[in-house]
Amino acid sequence: MNGEITISGSKNAALPIIAATILAKGKYKISNVPMILDIDHMLSILKDLGAKVAFSNNVCEIDTTNLNSYEPDSKKVRNIRASILLLGPLLARFKKVRIAHPGGCFIGARPVGTHFKALAELGAEILEDNSCYSLRTDALIGKKIILSEISVTATENLLMAAALAEGVTEIRLAATEPHVVDLCNFLVLMGSKIDGIGTHTLIVTGQKSLKPADYTICYDQIEAGTIAIAAAASRGIVTIKGFVARDQDILTNLLLEANVHIEILDETTAIIKRSTSYRALNKIRTDIYPNFPSDLQAPMGVLMTQADGTSTILETMFEGRLNYLNELNKMGADCIIKNSHEATITGPTPLFGTTIESFDLRAGATLLIASFIAEGESVIEKAEIIDRGYEKIDERLNALGANIRRVSEN
């Protein structure tokens, strides 16, 4: 891989910000929105609820004036895990919401109890049957809420609900990821009062009403990290525009420890330079931000197949995130899955093209990296899942020297 690439807008910021347009009637213009399947799914759900939607050239125009339903389409909700983000804004606007159990990637259990416990503390009554959740309230009342876990989507749901609640809501153990900060900044533009942005304690002073706002989505932290790791694995020279250095401290440290030549040119630009050899990492441990993200664990695993020595992966977030290692073994890697959370990778080992299968969004991107550093041709089955989170990834990687072809199963 050689050349220059610009990182897309953040999927994980765009999804809650799109959901937040429910909070105030009116027209919104959201820029730098990645043109990916998850965004299409979320916009389709909003359209069914009564919103007017136009999306082209990474600009999304949404008019929620005539939103008239609090019950998202159950089939569409099951297509996208982020549909859980509709709970807070729909409850705040309509005082009730009925939503099917969300779908998404199969990377292990992701309980939603934290969402419901927090919304119940704000004053929501919650019922559940075999397929749906139903929430209603006479009024949302702000209070001090300690989240059961540091959950990104629970923090985001609570932020949106609290924005229109009566009084002050104190959110303790709030998530601090860059995309959570982006949602906070958008809500402030809409008229919210939020103190403590970027910390684990958020103070939200509820407003009687909010107003529409235009906004530009931040760069995608995960895509930037994925591209940096891909460039290193390919031993290329790649300039990455949209690599926000302040959000990538732990990744930068790990890359340097592995002998990757990374240079931070300015606040949003980095360059990966060619390295002749890599060092194994003693422990790649995933955890909540600002620690190493689970979404970058698999790409780093590919890089470690090319590193000298044995690397240990400790996946603390999801029990299904190590399945991709079986696919790397098919390609010639030396990976041992000790249990659902721990694995070792011994390298360097040459990789060889073969038929492999994508189990989830991030694994799919990982197998792309493995395939273009492997000798021969690889076939990635179920690769369409990659389009859920990466905009035109094949075209953009091909521009850097990869050779990726889409082939229909038919």
Give the span between the Cα atoms of 103 and 84, in whole angstroms.
9
Of the residues 187, 216, 245, which one is the last residue of a structural domain?
216
Q: What digits encode the pLDDT tens for the residues 48-106? A: 999 999 999 999 999 999 999 999 999 999 888 899 999 999 999 999 999 987 754 44
The verdict on whether 335 is a catalytic residue reads no
Give the span between the Cα atoms of 150 and 289, in whole angstroms.
10
- Give the per-residue pLDDT at 252: 98
Residues 236 and 350 in one domain: yes
In this structure, what CATH number is given to the domain that contains residue 75? 3.65.10.10
Q: What digits encode the pLDDT tens for the residues 242-291? A: 999 999 999 999 999 999 999 999 999 999 999 989 999 999 999 999 99
Q: Which among 336, 343, 335 has a CA at the least distance from the CA of 305?
A: 335
Q: Which of 60, 105, 218, 335 is catalytic?
A: 105
- Give the per-residue pLDDT at 410: 62
Domains contained in the chain, number: 2
Q: What digits encode the pLDDT tens for the residues 345-371? A: 999 999 999 999 998 888 999 999 999
Answer whether residue 308 shows pLDDT above 80: yes
Q: Does residue 407 fall inside a structural domain?
A: no
Residues 242 and 344 in one domain: yes
Task: Judge whether 18 and 60 are in contact, CB under 8 Å.
Answer: yes
* Mean of per-residue pLDDT scores for the chain: 94
Residues 163 and 288 in one domain: no
Q: Does residue 3 fall inside a structural domain?
A: no
Q: Looking at 110-114, 116-120, 241-245, which range is the least confident one?
A: 110-114
Residues 159 and 301 in one domain: no
Residues 245 and 360 in one domain: yes
Residues 104 and 143 in one domain: yes
Strands (E) across 274-351 are located at 278-279, 284-285, 307-314, 334-339, 342-347
Residues 267 and 184 in one domain: no
Of the residues 191, 216, 241, which one is the last residue of a structural domain?
216
Question: What strands, in cross-sheet order, belong to the sheet with 168-172?
Answer: 144-146, 168-172, 201-205, 193-195
Give the span between the Cα atoms of 92 and 85, in whole angstroms.
12
Residues 245 and 191 in one domain: no
- Give the per-residue pLDDT at 106: 42
Give the helix ranges, DSSP H, for 234-380: 249-257, 297-304, 324-330, 361-373
Residues 100 and 67 in one domain: yes
User: CB count, 10 Å around CB of 273?
Assistant: 15
Q: Which among 204, 195, 115 has a CA at the least distance from the CA of 152?
A: 115
Of the residues 216, 236, 267, which one is the last residue of a structural domain?
216
Q: Does residue 45 fall inside a structural domain?
A: yes
What range does the domain containing 245 cover?
221-398
Answer whether residue 14 shows pLDDT above 80: yes
Q: Does residue 405 fall inside a structural domain?
A: no
